[in-house]
Structure 1
Amino acid sequence: MSKFDSIRPFYDAEANDAIREIVDDPMLEAMMNFTFPHDSKDHWKDLMLHTHSLRDFQINFIYPGVKKVLEKSSDGLSIDGFEKLEPNTSYLFISNHRDIILDTSLLNASLYENGLVLTTSAIGDNLIKKKFLHTLSRLNRNFAIKRGLQGRALLESSMMASEYIKKSLVHENRSVWTAQREGRTKDGNDATQRGVLKMLTLAEEGNNPFGYFEKIRVVPISISYEYDPTDILKMPELLAKSRDEKYVKSENEDFLNLLRGIMGTKKRIHIQVNGVLNEEISEISKMELNQSEKLSHLANVIDQKIWSGYKLWPSNYIAHDLLYGDDEYKAHYSVEEKNAFEKRLIEKVDTKNTLMVKNFLAMYANPVNNQKKSLESNSIS
C-alpha cells in the first residue's frame, strides 16, 4: 500500500486491468463511437485490451478524442509560448480554469504535439464519484483533490496532495497541472488563491517553505475560450453569490457541466504559456518578508502573467461595451460578431432579469478589465 493510493493515478502495471473493468461500459462505448465513428466496436476494444501504459491510453484514445472535440465543437485551437519549454523537463503549470475536462486535455494535447512531458493533473474528487469517471480519470493520469473537508482532515489531505505533487515534479520528472484557485472561475475574474500556493509548500521541510518554488519550474498558463460552453450553467451560482445566498449544487450538475464543456460551442480557443518564473521567484525569495507575504507576492505575479497572456476575443470586448454601455472597444469586433454575441445572450439569458444579464456579460468582460490592470501595473513598474 502506498500512502498516495487514495488519490494517485494508476501505475502502468495497473492500466490494462483498469481498462478491462470499463471496456464494456456504455459510456466508454459512446466516447469511442464519437472519437472513432468509422471504427467497429471490436476494433477499438481490441486496441484497448492490448494497451498496457497510461501514456499509450492517453495518446491512442484520449488525444484523438480531444482532436475530435476540437473538430466538432470549436473553430480551432491556437497556442503560443511552448517553445520556451524544454523537452524531458517537468513543470508546475498553474492555470486559470474554465472547463472541468478540456483545460487540462487541451494543454496535454499541446504538450504532446510539442514533444514535452505530459502532466499529472489535479481534479476534485466531487467530479469523479461515478465509478466509470473515477477509473477513466486515473487512466488519464489525474490525481484527486479531496473536497468538502475541514480542520484536521483538510490539513492531512492538503499535505498528501503537496507530497504527491513534489514527488511527481522532483523525483519522477512528471509535470503537474493545477488550477490557480479551488474549482473553476465562474465570473471570468481569474485570481490566484494564496491557499493553493501554501498547499504546494506544505511538503517542503525546514524553516523556509517558500524555497520550494526555487527547486521547481513554475509556469503560469492562460486559457481562453471565445465562447464559454458552460457559461449559462454557471449562472445559478453567480446569482446566488450576488444575493449573498448559499449555493447548493444539483445532483448531476457537475456531470452536466462536464458534458456541456465537451460538446458545447466554443468557437476559437487559445493557450498561452507565460514563461518560467525562475527570475521572479528568485527576486521574491530575496525580499525580507514573511512566508505569507512572499506567497501573496507570488500570487500577484502569477495573476499578472495570466491576465497579460489571456487572449481576448471579440466576445470579451463586445461584452465589456454592452456591460458598461459604451463603445470603447468597437475597433476589436465587427457588427456581425456583435450581432452573433447578442443573439447568444438573448437565447441563453432571461433578458428581463437585469442581474442575470449583468453576470453573463461580466463573465466575458472581466478578462478585459484584468488585462487592462496588468498593462497599467507593468507601465508603472
Structure 2
Amino acid sequence: MSKFDSIRPFYDSEANAAIRKIVDDPMLEAMMNFAFPYDPPSHWKDLMHHTHSLRDFQINFIYPALMKVLERSSEGLSTGGFESLEPNTAYLFISNHRDIILDTSLLNSCLYEKGLSMTTSAIGDNLIKKPFLHTLSRLNRNFAIRRGLTGRALLESSVLVSEFISKSLLRENRSVWTAQREGRTKDGNDTTHKGVLKMLTLAESGDNPFGFFEKINVVPVSISYEYDPTDILKMPELLAKSRDEKYVKSENEDFVNLLRGIMGTKKRIHIQINGILEKEIREISSMEIPQGEKLSQLANLIDQKIWGGYKLWPSNYVAHDLLSGTSTYSEHYSLAEKEAFEKRLHGKVDMGNTFLVKSFLSMYAYPVDNSLKAATTQPLL
C-alpha cells in the first residue's frame, strides 16, 4: 500500500476497474447523456469499457461534457498568458477559487487544448462523500484534502498532502492545481492565505522550507465569471458570518452548489495565466527575514498577480457603481448590461435586506478595487 492511498487519484492500472464500477450509475448516465445527446448509451459505455488510463477518461468523457456545459450555460471561454507555459513541464497553479468543479476543469481543458500537461487537483473531501463522486473525482485526477480536522490530525494530514504535491511536481513531473485559500471565495475578495503556502512547504527538509518554492514553477491563475452561477447560494454563509454565528451547511448543500455551478448561467468566462514567479521567488528567498515573513511576501505577490490578471466584466463595474451610488465606471457597460445585472439582483436578493444587497454587490465589485490595488502597487523587483 502507498502512504498516499487515502488521498490520491487512481493509478492508470486501476482506471478500468473503477470505471466499470460506475458505468451503470444513474448519475454517470445522466452526465454522459448530457455530453453525448445523440449517441445511444451503449456507445459511450462500450468506449468506457475499453478505457484504461485517467488521461483517456478525461479527454474522451470529461472534456466533451465540459464543452457541452460551456455551450449550454455560458457565452464562451477566453484565455490569456498560456504562451508562457511549456509542454512537458510541471507547474504549481495557484488560483482564485469561485466554483467547486469548473475552476480546475476549465483550466485543464485549456491545458489540454494547448498541448500542455494537465494537473492533479486538490478537492475537499466534504465534496466527494457520495461513493459515485469519490470515484469520479479520482478518475478525474483529483487528490483529497481532509476537512474539519484540528490539532495533530490536521498537521499529519497537511504533511501528507504536502508530500503528495512535492512528489507530483518534482518526481513525476505532474502539474498541480490548488486554490489560494481553503474553500471558495464567498465575498469576491480573492486573497491568498499564508496557511496554504505554509502547508506546501511542510515536506521540505532542512532549515529553509521556503526553498521549496525555488525548486518548482509557481504560476498564479485568475479565473473570472461574468455571472457567478452560485452567487446567491453564498449569501447564507455571509449572513451568518455577519452575525458572528457558526454557519452549518445543510445535508446536500455542497452537492447543490456543485450542480448549480455546472449548469447555472455564467455568461463569459476568462482564464489568465499570470507568468511564472521565478525571479520574484528568488528575490524573496534571498531576503534576511523570517520564514513566516517570506510566506507573507509570497502571498502578497500572488494576490497582486491574480488581481492584475482578473478580467473585469460589465457586471463588476455595474455592481461597483450601484454599491457606491455613482456612475464612475459607466463607460465600461451599456444600459442594457446594467439593466440585465439589476434584473439578476432583484430576482435573487430580497431588496429589503440591506446586508444581502450590499453583500451581493460587493461580491462583484471587489475585483474592481483589487485590480486598482494591483495597478498601483510597486512590483517586488
CA distance in 1: counterparts of 2:297 and 2:118, whole angstroms: 28
Match of 1:293 in 2: 293
Superposed CA deviations along residues 120-178 of structure 1, whole A, max 9, x for unmatched, are 00000000000000000000000000000000000000000000000000000000000
Q: Name the SS of the counterpart of 2:8 in structure 1.
A: coil
Amino acid at match of 2:43: H
Amino acid at match of 1:328: T
Amino acid at match of 1:116: L
Match of 1:134 in 2: 134
CA distance in 2: counterparts of 1:326 and 1:170, whole angstroms: 51
Amino acid at match of 1:235: M
CA distance in 1: counterparts of 2:274 and 2:378, whole angstroms: 15
CA distance in 2: counterparts of 1:241 and 1:91, whole angstroms: 35
Runs of at least 5 residues in structure 2 that lack an aligned partner in the other structure: none
Match of 2:54 in 1: 54
Match of 2:328 in 1: 328
CA distance in 2: counterparts of 1:313 and 1:36, whole angstroms: 32
Structure 1 residue 63: deviation in Å?
0.4
Match of 2:353 in 1: 353
Judge conservation of contact 2:227–2:265 (CA < 8 Å) in 1.
yes
Amino acid at match of 2:369: N
Match of 1:185 in 2: 185
Cα RMSD for the two superposed structures? 0.9
Superposed CA deviations along residues 190-210 of structure 1, whole A, max 9, x for unmatched, are 000000000000000100000
Match of 1:83 in 2: 83
Match of 1:208 in 2: 208
Structure 1 residue 380: deviation in Å?
11
Amino acid at match of 1:44: W
Structure 1 residue 378: deviation in Å?
3.3
CA distance in 2: counterparts of 1:233 and 1:154, whole angstroms: 28
Match of 2:220 in 1: 220
CA distance in 2: counterparts of 1:323 and 1:242, whole angstroms: 18
Which stretch of the first structure deviates more once superposed, 368-377 or 336-345?
Answer: 368-377
Structure 1 residue 245: deviation in Å?
1.4
CA distance in 2: counterparts of 1:73 and 1:380, whole angstroms: 39
CA distance in 2: counterparts of 1:379 and 1:155, whole angstroms: 34
> Which segments of structure 1 move beyond 4 Å, counting only runs of 4 or more?
none
Match of 1:13 in 2: 13
Q: How does 1:253-272 map to 2 (within 5 A)?
A: 253-272=253-272
Match of 1:123 in 2: 123
CA distance in 2: counterparts of 1:362 and 1:309, whole angstroms: 19
Structure 1 residue 349: deviation in Å?
0.5
Identity %: 78
CA distance in 1: counterparts of 2:13 and 2:161, whole angstroms: 22
Superposed CA deviations along residues 327-350 of structure 1, whole A, max 9, x for unmatched, are 110000000000000000000001
Q: Name the SS of the counterpart of 1:137 in structure 2.
A: helix
CA distance in 2: counterparts of 1:247 and 1:371, whole angstroms: 30
CA distance in 2: counterparts of 1:188 and 1:13, whole angstroms: 41
Match of 2:106 in 1: 106
CA distance in 2: counterparts of 1:374 and 1:249, whole angstroms: 34
CA distance in 1: counterparts of 2:307 and 2:186, whole angstroms: 16
CA distance in 2: counterparts of 1:167 and 1:373, whole angstroms: 35
CA distance in 2: counterparts of 1:180 and 1:377, whole angstroms: 20
CA distance in 2: counterparts of 1:246 and 1:364, whole angstroms: 24
Q: Name the SS of the counterpart of 2:123 in structure 1.
A: strand
Structure 1 residue 218: deviation in Å?
0.1
Q: TM-score, normalised by structure 2?
A: 0.99
Amino acid at match of 2:356: M
Match of 2:340 in 1: 340
Match of 2:313 in 1: 313
CA distance in 2: counterparts of 1:380 and 1:163, whole angstroms: 29
Amino acid at match of 1:164: F
Superposed CA deviations along residues 26-60 of structure 1, whole A, max 9, x for unmatched, are 00000001000000010000000000000000000
CA distance in 2: counterparts of 1:252 and 1:379, whole angstroms: 44
Structure 1 residue 246: deviation in Å?
1.1
Structure 1 residue 379: deviation in Å?
8.1
Match of 1:23 in 2: 23
Superposed CA deviations along residues 39-95 of structure 1, whole A, max 9, x for unmatched, are 001000000000000000000000001110000000000000000001000000000
Judge conservation of contact 2:280–2:380 (CA < 8 Å) in 1.
no
Q: Name the SS of the counterpart of 1:378 in structure 2.
A: coil
CA distance in 2: counterparts of 1:141 and 1:197, whole angstroms: 22
